[in-house]
Structure 1
Amino acid sequence: MASNRPADTPDDLLARLGSLTAEARARADAHRTQVELALALQRGMLPDGLPEVAGVTVAARYAPAFAGLNVGGDWYDGFVLPDGSIGYSIGDVQGHTIEAAAFMGQVRVGLRALGSVTSDPGELLARTNDLLLSLGGSLFATCTMVRFDPVTWELDSARAGHVPMVRATASGRSRVVEDEGGLPLGIEPGVEYPVTRYRLTERGAFVLVTDGVVEGPSLSVDEGLEQVATLAGVGVGAALGAASLATSVMRIADSIGHDDDAAVLVIGHDAPPPGAAPGEPGG
């Protein structure tokens, strides 16, 4: 049966096309605004700078994910601890949402607040874990917390489910260090986080990353970490600064087309002053 509805005129078609175009533009603008707000939240929670002491240089890099809202919970931080040592952290919150970025802020604030009462990285992770659970959230975070002592020239490390870090020295030794660790933060109360001590007897660097740097569609975590170890060994051997090494490591994430946030933290150190490092190299 023929329809009595009059055929659309060219003007009608143009009006309908214009309406659809306006709706699509409004949706695109709303999404762009959401992404910009999420990125502003994420970047606003990262520190403007990182503390350093004589003989130590620190550099960090951060890149948002290529997909989704382009925001997640990766972070890095550094602050002075009660005994005058320096604490550095890097971590990754589950998920890629504004909620993940907000939870990251809670973890960072918790670490800093509790870092005013303890200098031990294992105790600091344990207290932060219990604090997060007391808040009743549903997310969790992996984290590595390290403490550098400028008097003894030692570095203590504790790990909460985070990917291992890499250690490179001027003598040519570069390796992934599989320190013992505990569960991610925010999963189970009363978790203990063992501490590993490194005595720094020569020039070198510690490279800490989130899994977005070393894992992708074409790269396993182990393969990615080995690439970091290779770059760290070359960089320390060539006396590259922490900033150059951090940039070089971040290129791994760029090369694999990462779909996750990516963060790099490099702690470079000179050889210790005479008498600063007791005993033999540890870790």
Structure 2
Amino acid sequence: MPRKRSTDEGDELLARLGSLTAQARERAEQQRTRVELAIALQRGMLPRDLPAAPGLRLAVQYTPATYGLNVGGDWYDAFTLPDGRIGLSIGDVQGHNIEAAAYMGQVRAGLRALASVTGDPGELLARTNELLLSLNSELFATCTFMRLDPVTGVLESARAGHIPFVWATADGRAGVADDEGGPPLGIDSGTRYPVTRHRLGTGGVFVLLTDGVVEGPSLDIEEGLDQVVRLAAIAAVAGLKAQALAGAVIKGAESVGHEDDAAVLVVGLDAPCVPGLDQAGVQP
């Protein structure tokens, strides 16, 4: 009899373990489905095509994070403004879930919609900030918005809590932009965002990115930005294609530990700018 009782208890334990295993598999499958849905949502809201203009070189790379079976809300965008100039944005939504991915879509759509009213980067970010506050969400987003004239190479930029962009010129100069910025979008009403004017010369590049490219457990943000500066300088001097530089930058993101989304937007010009302007590259 004792042996029979021991066998029954063993069968009961195995049944419980089997039930727990089935529940764990079901939860894992649900979480995997959530991740796949969020990634599909992200990719569905990112632009499929980039604008074209004589001499303009645009390239993007995007890698969703799957750390902890979650995804974030990074985005990039490039589109033609009503006056023919090019609008460029890159940003990052707080959080790593479907809600962050959905909020990303709202921010990107808001920027595009308001850009039809004003293309001034500072005013555009200010209006987008008020729009997001009206949604009463607990989320917020960092963002950089630029307006580029591909004919003259003149570029105006405003930054909302986002990491600065990297620049490089064909004569070997490179660095991290020191633009003054404002707070992230969706936090405080009445915020103003300063606009900084640059010029993109022939052969020069601007590299816009999110912090998942340059910051993680294996690399701090200063080291990560320095890594991108070196890559941009090499690419500009060697005349590499924008797509090759974007690929090299996203490849370098692997060294940070990559717990977050990673997005890269490279902007370059091949065509000469208006006669009389210095062709060296970036000018504040």
TM over 0.5: yes
Report sequence identity in percent.
63
2:11 maps to 1:8: no
Cα deviation for residue 94 of structure 1 reads: 0.7
Report the residue type matching 2:46 in the other structure.
L
Does 2:199 correspond to 1:199? yes
Aligned 8 A contact 1:81 1:118 in 2: no
Q: In the alignment, is residue 165 of structure 1 matched against residue 165 of structure 2?
A: yes
Read off the aligned partner of 1:108 and give its amino acid letter.
R
Q: How many residues align?
A: 282
**Aligned 8 A contact 1:153 1:276 in 2:** no
The ranges of structure 1 where at least 4 consecutive aligned residues each deviate by more than 6 angstroms after the TM superposition are: 2-5
User: Which region of structure 1 is more displaced relative to structure 2, 65-74 or 158-167?
Assistant: 65-74
Q: Which residue of 2 aligns with 1:240?
A: 240
For the residue of structure 2 that corresponds to 1:61, the secondary structure is: strand
Shift of 1:13: 5.6
Structure 2 match to 1:127:
127
Residues 68 and 96 in structure 1, CA contact (< 8 A), matched pair in contact too? no
The AA in structure 1 aligned to 2:283 is G
Q: Does 1:58 align with 2:93?
A: no
> Counterpart in 2 of 1:178?
178
Structure 2 residue identity aligned to 1:69: L
Cα distance, 1:46 vs. partner?
1.0
Whether the 8 Å contact between 2:201 and 2:273 is mirrored in structure 1 is no
RMSD of aligned alpha carbons:
2.3
- Tell me which protein shows more helix as a share of its residues: 2
Matched, 1:282 2:283: yes
Q: Higher mean Cα deviation, 229-238 or 39-48?
A: 39-48
1:30 aligns with 2:11: no
* Counterparts of 1:227 and 1:38, CA distance in 2: 30
By how many angstroms is 1:271 displaced?
A: 4.5
Secondary structure, counterpart of 1:71 in structure 2: coil
Counterpart secondary structure, 1:8: helix
Q: Does 1:95 align with 2:100?
A: no
| Preserved CA contact (<8 Å) 1:92 1:142 | yes
Please say if residues 72 and 101 of structure 1, whose CA atoms lie closer than 8 Å, have aligned partners that are also in contact.
yes
The answer (yes or no) to whether the contact 2:51–2:80 under 8 Å persists in 1 is yes
Query: Would you say the 8 A contact 2:56–2:271 is kept in 1?
Result: no
Query: Is the CA contact (8 Å cut-off) linking 2:151 and 2:273 kept in structure 1?
Result: no
* Pairing 1:189–2:177 present: no
**Who is 1:139 aligned against?**
139
Question: Residues of 1 paired with 2:41 and 2:85: CA distance?
Answer: 29
Write the distance in 2 (CA, Å) between the matches of 1:182 and 1:13.
59
Secondary structure class of the residue paired with 1:113 = helix
SS, match of residue 69 in structure 2: coil
Q: Mean Cα displacement is larger for which, 164-173 or 67-76?
A: 67-76
- Pick closer, same or farther for the CA change 1:4–1:259 going to 2, 3 Å: same
How far apart, in 1, do the equivalents of 2:78 and 2:202 lie? 23
Specify the SS of the correspondent of 2:61: strand
SS at match of 1:6: helix
TM-superposed CA distance for 1:59, in Å, is 0.9
CA contact (8 A) 1:216 1:256 kept: yes
Question: C-alpha separation between the residues in 2 aligned to 1:114 and 1:22?
Answer: 49
Aligned equivalent of 1:70:
70
SS in 1 for 2:208: strand
Q: List per-residue Cα deviations over 1:36-95 (Å, max 9, x = no partner).
A: 111111111111122121101111111122412331110000111121101010000111
